[in-house]
Structure 1
Amino acid sequence: MSFVIDFLLLAASGAACFYCWILSRRLRALTSTKAGIKTGIAALSRSTEDIQSAISESKRAAEVNAEQLSSLIDESDKKIPELESLLNQLSKVGVQAVNDTEAAVNKLVQVLSPHINEAKDSAAMLAESLNFDENDAAAPNSIRKSDNEAEVEATAPIKPKKDEEEVVFVNVNQESEIEGKVA
């Protein structure tokens, strides 16, 4: 029996040694993990501080930008009535320019109509005095009617002598366009 007790005692001491060996391994893993955890916690702490400083810096920059944007919005709100006034003035000036242009064209037509009619009559008298028939092949192109044209064109300029001023005839077709605008 003492032999059995010795064997049980030996088995219990072997089991205790095995249990101590397992605890030793776990304790070593825990201490190395503690160092790893400490390093990880320190890195996370530094990252948290960096993020907090970046957030506070971003908040300050956002506040500055918000103030600048607010001042720009206020300034643009003040400029809106001025721009509307300028737009109305430009619109009025545009309408006035159109009216003035139309009046000038009408006056020009009124002033030039008698001169154009006089030139037309003079051209007809000149053609008659030269005894050119409208279909005469010897007539200059400016007096002879072409087959497709219904009116006489008096567009050929007369070459002046050295001391005379240059004379330019107005196209008779243009005169009819001007008369059409008057009516």
Structure 2
Amino acid sequence: MDMVADTLLVAGALGAGIYCFILSRRLTQFNNLENGVGAAVAVLSSQVTELQTALDAARSTANHSSDTLVEITERAEQTSKKLELMVAALHDLPQVSETSVPQKSSEPVFSSHFREAR
């Protein structure tokens, strides 16, 4: 009976050893940095870094664009107020009729800007 128990114990130990050996090889292939999940993790890590850099650049560009847009909007509002004042001032001017505007003569006027050399 002891002999059967020892034989089963040795067989179980050998089976566990073979299982551990196979598991070790599979884990090595799984974590391989060239072909396995390790390679995928390395690629994803580099892509995350690149995306973070691109996101930071986009964020700074958006902030700059927002600041520029605020400045342009403020300038437009100031110009709009000036234009409103000018249009309001135009309403205060008297109406000009066509008869009160002097007519230009149809004859051309020529003038000479030639200077004599002395």
Question: CA offset at residue 96 of structure 1?
Answer: 2.8
Is 1:9 paired with 2:6?
Answer: yes
Q: Give the structure 2 partner of residue 46 of structure 1.
A: 46
Question: CA offset at residue 84 of structure 1?
Answer: 0.2
Q: Give the structure 2 partner of residue 64 of structure 1.
A: 64
Distance 2:30 2:90 in 1: 80
Summarize the alignment of residues 42-121 of structure 1 with structure 2, pairs less than 5 Å apart. Answer: 42-92=42-92, 96=95, 100=97
Instruction: Look up the SS of the partner of 2:52 in the other structure.
Output: helix
Higher RCO, 1 vs 2 (CA within 8 Å, ≥6 residues apart): 1
Q: Which amino acid aligns with 1:14?
A: A
Q: Flag structure 2 segments of 5+ consecutive residues without an equivalent.
A: 100-118
Bigger shift: 6-15 or 45-54?
6-15
Determine what percentage of the aligned residue pairs are the same residue.
17
Distance 2:28 2:92 in 1: 88
Q: Which amino acid aligns with 1:39?
A: A
Distance 2:8 2:52 in 1: 59
Distance 1:81 1:41 in 2: 59
Is 1:33 paired with 2:30?
Answer: yes
Q: Deviations over 1:85-130 (max 9, x none)?
A: 233245456x836xx58xx8xxxxxxxxxxxxxxxxxxxxxxxxxx
Instruction: Look up the SS of the partner of 1:96 in the other structure.
Output: coil
Structure with more of its chain in helix, by fraction: 1
Q: Flag structure 1 segments of 5+ consecutive residues without an equivalent.
A: 105-183
Number of paired residues? 96
Q: Which amino acid aligns with 1:32?
A: Q
Distance 1:92 1:42 in 2: 75
Distance 2:4 2:14 in 1: 15
Larger radius of gyration: 1
Q: Which amino acid aligns with 2:4?
A: F
Q: Give the structure 1 partner of residue 16 of structure 2.
A: 19
